[in-house]
A and B are shown apart, each in its own frame.
Chain A
Amino acid sequence: MPEPLAPRLRALAAALADVVRGAAGLDEYARYVAHHRRRHAGEPCPSRAEFFRNRQSARWHGVRRCC
C-alpha cells in the first residue's frame, strides 16, 4: 500500500526548505533562543543583532569554502 502523495510532497517541501535554511544559516538565531530557554532560563538572552554579530566572525574563521 503506497503512502498517499500529499503528505509525502509536504515532507519533501519541508526538507527543501530546511536545505535552504541550512545552506544560509537562516534559523541559527531561533535555534539559539530555544537553546537559551532550555539551558539558561532566567538569564537575559542576547538580541538578534548581538547574536548575529557574535556568530558572523566565528562562522568564517575556519575552512568554510571548498574549491
Chain B
Amino acid sequence: MQKLFGFVLAIVAAILVGGIALHRGESINALWIIAAAACIYTLGYRFYAAWISADVLAADPTRATPAERLDNGRDFVPTPRWVVFGHHFAAIAGPGPLIGPTLAAQFGYLPGTLWILIGSVLGGCVQDMVVLFCSTRRDGRTLGQMARDELGPFGGTAAILGTLSIMVILIAVLGLVVVNAMKHSPWATATVFATIPIAVLVGLYMRSLRPGRVAEASLLGVALLLGAVVLGGWVDHEPALRTYFDHPGTTLAWFVIGYGFVAAVLPVWLLLAPRDYLSTFLKLGTVVLLALAIVVLRPELKMPALTRFVDGSGPIFAGKLFPFVFITIACGAISGFHALVSSGTTPKLIATERDVRLVGYGSMVLESLVAIMAMIAAALLDPGVYFAINSPLAALGGAPDAAVATLTAWGFPVSVEQMHALAREVGEATLFARTGGAPSLAVGMASILSGVFGTGLLAVWYHFAIMFEAVFILTTLDAGTRVGRFMLQDALAHVWAPLGRTSWYPSVVLTSALVVAAWGYFLYVGVIDPYGGINILWPLFGIANQMLAGIALAVVTAILLKGSHARHAWITGIPLAWLAVVTTAAALEKLSSPNPKIGFLSGAADLAAKLAAGMLPPERLAAAPKLIFNQRLDALLTAFFLVVLWVVIADMLRLAWRRARGGRLPASPEAPYARSQLGEAGRA
C-alpha cells in the first residue's frame, strides 16, 4: 500500500515537473508549481527521510534522549513533537528564503524552483535532520564542538570562524535590503521606525505589566504593528511630517548601524525578545495567508521559464546560471546556518529519536515551501516590472528613461508611465532600482493579497509586506550581532580573561562595537556603490553560507563513516560533493573572472584604471577608492572561505580514505545508551 502510494506520487510529481519544464511560450499557473512541490516534499518526507531515519541513523525509540536524561525543566525538556517543530521552524526561518529566490528569478522561474525542490529534499532537509540527530546523540553539542570532536581542533576553529564571518556578511546584506526598501520612502521609513517603540512596549508589557503573558502581549503588538502600517500612510500624506522620514540611503545606513549597536547592548527583554515574538507571529500568519491566497487565486506566472540571463549578463547580479543559481538560493534549498540551530538548542527538546524526522526534515520542508512562494511572488510580476524594481539603474543605463529602453530592447517591455502608475498605486515615489528583493516581493505579495481582499488596499499591503520583512531582518540583525559578540568575547577571553565576561559592561560595549563596525562597514560600502551592493554582497553571503553547510555536512559525514552504517555515508556525502563543486566554482569565478562585473579583483582593477584615467564622473570620485578596497577585501574573504571549506573536507576525506583501506577509525563520542522511561504519553 505504502509502495503503491509512493509509486503513484512519483508519477504525478514527474508529470507535474515535466509539465512545468516543457511548458514554454505561454504562461503557466502557479498551482502547477505548488502541486509539484507538494508531491516532491511528500515523497522526500515519507520515503527518503523515513529510510534515513530507520536504516541509516537507526533512530531508536527506546533510547532516552538528552531531554529525558538531563531534564531540568528549562533548556532540557522532553517536548511534544509539534511544539518542537514550531520552535525549530521559528528558529530556522528568517528573511533569507524570501530574498534569494526573488533575486534568482532573473534566470527565469525554472532553475530556481528546481534547485529549491531538489536541493531541499536531497540536501538541506537531510543536513538539518542528520545534524539534529547527531547532536541529540551527543547531549546537544554544538556544531563547533562536534567539528572539534570528529575532525580535530582545526575543524572546530574553522566552524567558529566561518560562523562569525557569515554572520557579518549576512547582517550587512540584510541591512542593505532594509535600507533599499526605506530609501526616500517616508511611508516605509515611518512604519519601520514605529516597529521599534512597539517592540519596546511589548517588552515592558511582558516584563512588568503582565509578566510572562506572551500570547497577550504578542497579539497586542501585532495589532499595533498593523496600526503602524496605516499610520505610516498618514505620515506620508502630511507634508510637514513626511520630510522627517525622507532620507537618502547613507543616512538610513547610519541609522541601521546605530540601531544595531544600541540593540546589541540593551537587555534582551527590552527589544530583541519581544520583537522575536512579534516576527514569529507575523511570519506564521503571513506564510499561511500567502499560501491560501495562491491556492485561491491561482495566479499565472508571467516570468519565462528561462531568461536570456542564464548566459551571465543579468542586471541584478552578474554570473552564469551555473554556479550562481546554487549560491544565490541558499536558504530554502540548503543553508549551513540551520546546522547551528539544529545543534545546540533544538536537540535538548527532542523527546524521542523518532521525532527527529519531523523536526529536522519537516521544518526544512516548510522553509523550502516559503522559498517556493517567494519565487512565485517574483515570477507573477511582469518581467519588465520585476527587472526595473530589482536592477540597479547603473546596470540599465543610468536614468529611468534609459532603463526602460534597455529592458524593452531585451524583450521585457515596460514603460516609465507603467512604473509611475504602479509606484503611485503602492504609495511610493518610485519603484526603480529598489534592489534587494524586499520591494519586488512586496509588490508581488501585495498584488496576490489584494486579489483576495480587493485592490483598494494595494498600498497598505505593500507597506505591510515591507514592515513584515523589516521586522524579520531587524530581529536577525540584533540577534546576529549578539551571537557575534558572544563568539568574539569567547575568543578574546584567551587574550585577556575579563573580556570574556558576558555581563561586564566595558567588554559588552567594546565587542558589540567591533561586531557592528564589521558589518556596518560592508553595509555602508554597499549603500554608496552605484551598483547597489547587493550584486557583491549576496554572492559573498551565498558562498559563506554554502561553506558553512559544507562544514556541517563534512562533520556529519565523518560521524556516519565512524558508525556502523558507513556504506550509507553518501546521503550527506553527495550533497557535500555538490556543494563543494558549486561553491568552489563560484568562488573561483568571483576571484579570477576577467569580467569586471563578476570578478572581485578584475572589478577592482577596472575601477582603479578608470579612476586613474579620469574616466569617472565627478559624483563617483569620492566613493571609488573605497569600492576598490572593498572588492579586494571581498576577494580575500572569498579565498578564505574556499580554503576553510577545503581544509575541512580534506580532514573528512582523510577519515574516508583510512576507512576505505580497511583501517579502524576512532569511535565517535556518543552519549551511552540509556533506556527511555517515557511512556507513549510522555512523547505525545
B73 touches A39 (CB 8 A): yes
Inter-chain pairs besides A23-B90, A67-B174, 19 sampled, C-beta below 8 Å: A19-B83, A22-B90, A23-B86, A23-B284, A35-B73, A39-B71, A49-B212, A52-B212, A56-B268, A60-B272, A60-B273, A60-B276, A62-B345, A63-B340, A63-B341, A66-B338, A67-B95, A67-B330, A67-B476
Interfacial chain B residues near A67, Cβ < 8 Å = 94-96, 170, 174, 330-331, 335, 337, 476, 541, 545
- The minimal Cβ–Cβ distance linking B368 to chain A, given in whole angstroms, is 13
B335 touches A25 (CB 8 A): no
Can you identify 10 A-B contacts, CB atoms within 8 angstroms?
A18-B85, A22-B85, A28-B77, A32-B74, A53-B211, A56-B273, A63-B163, A64-B479, A65-B91, A67-B331
B40 within 8 A of A: no
Separation of A9 and B284 alpha carbons in the complex (Å): 20
Report whether B215 and A58 are in contact in the complex, using a CB–CB cutoff of 8 Å.
Answer: no
Inter-chain contact total with CB atoms closer than 8 Å = 140
B window 266-299: CB within 8 A of A: 267-269, 272-273, 276-277, 280-281, 284
Instruction: From known contacts A49-B211, A60-B482, A65-B479, infer whether A22 and B341 are also in contact, taking CB-CB under 8 Å.
Output: no
A21-B341 contact, Cβ under 8 Å, with A64-B479, A65-B276, A67-B95: no
A65 near B211: Cβ-Cβ < 8 Å: no
B87 touches which of A22, A35, A58, A65 (Cβ 8 Å):
A22
What is the CA–CA distance of A51 and B344 in the complex, to the nearest angstrom? 21
What chain A residues lie within 8 Å of B344 (beta carbons)?
62-63
A59-B330 contact given A22-B87, A26-B215, A52-B211, CB 8 Å threshold = no
B75 contact from A58, A60, A65, A66, Cβ within 8 A: A58
Verify if A6 is at the interface (C-beta below 8 Å from B): no
9 shortest interchain CB distances as A-B pairs:
A22-B86, A49-B211, A35-B73, A18-B82, A67-B96, A22-B83, A52-B212, A19-B86, A23-B86
**Distance in angstroms between the alpha carbons of A60 and B75 in the assembled complex:** 12
Q: Which chain A residues in 37-67 approach chain B with CB under 8 Å?
A: 39, 48-49, 51-67
Name the residue of chain A whose CB is nearest to the CB of B76.
A35
Of the candidates B87, B281, B479, the one having the most CB atoms from chain A within 10 angstroms of its own CB is: B87
A21 in contact with B211 (CB, 8 Å): no
Whether A20 is near chain B, meaning CB under 8 Å from some CB there, is yes
Nearest CB of B to A32, in Å: 4
Q: What is the size category of the interface that chain A forms with chain B? A: 35 or more
Q: Does chain A have a CB within 8 A of B262? A: no
Judged by DSSP, the binding face of A is helix
B146 contacts chain A at the CB level, 8 A cutoff = no
Contacts known (A21-B86, A35-B73, A39-B73); A53 close to B269, Cβ less than 8 A = yes
Contacts of B211 in A (CB 8 A): 48-49, 52-53
Contact residues in A for B341 (Cβ distance below 8 Å)? 63-64, 66
A7 to B87 alpha-carbon distance, docked (Å): 25
CB neighbours (8 Å) of B284 from chain A are 19-20, 23
Interface digits, B454-480 against A, CB 8 Å rule (1 contact, 0 not)?
A: 000000000000000000000110011
Please give the distance in Å from A31's CB to the nearest CB on chain B.
Answer: 6
Partner of A24 from the list B75, B92, B277, B486 (CB cut-off 8 Å) is B277
- Residue pair A66, B87 in contact (C-beta under 8 Å): no
**B483 contacts partner chain A, Cβ-Cβ < 8 Å:** yes
Decide if B345 touches A64 in the complex (CB within 8 Å). Answer: yes
Contact B479 A24 (CB under 8 A): no
Chain A residues positioned under 8 Å from B96 (CB to CB): 66-67
**Contacting residue for A25 out of B87, B89, B142, B340, CB 8 A:** B87
